[in-house]
Amino acid sequence: MTEKKIRKQRVGVVTSTSMDKSITISVQRKLQHGVYGKFVKKTKKFMVHDEKNECNVGDTVKIMETRPLSKRKRWRMVEILERAK
C-alpha cells in the first residue's frame, strides 16, 4: 500500500487575473531577523490554476500544491476565503 502525501497549502491575495484559467497570488509571511530580531515581511508570488475563472483581484484564496500543469503552474485554487470589497 502506498500512502498519499500531504500536499502543501498556502493562503494569499490575488494580484492578477489577466490570463485565462490562471491567476497570480502573493503570499506574505513574517520572519524574524537573525541578528536584530525585527520581524520582516517576505512576499512570494505563485501562478495558480483557476478552472472556472471565478477569482477577482484582491480576493483572499487558499491554494494547494499539485502536479505541474504548465511551465510555471504547480498550484491550484481550493477555495475563495474572502471576496474583495
Using alpha carbons, select from 39, 41, 43 the residue that is nearest to residue 27: 43
Asked if residue 1 is part of any domain, the answer here is no
**Is the pLDDT confidence value at 79 over 80?**
yes
Residue 35 confidence (pLDDT): 97
Domain count for the chain: 1
Residue 4 maps to a domain: no
Contact 50, 63 (CB under 8 A): no
Listed in sequence order, the residues at least 6 apart from 24 whose beta carbon sits closer than 8 Å to its beta carbon are: 14, 15, 16, 17, 45, 46, 47, 48
Q: Identify the residue with better confidence: 57 or 5.
A: 57
β partners of residue 61 = 12, 80
pLDDT in tens, 9-49: 999 999 999 999 999 999 999 999 999 999 999 999 999 99
Its domain, for residue 21, covers 10-82
Instruction: Identify the CATH number of the domain in which residue 36 sits.
Output: 2.40.50.140
Q: What is the β-pairing status of strands 39-49 and 73-82?
A: parallel
Percent of the chain with pLDDT over 70: 100
pTM, two decimals, is 0.86
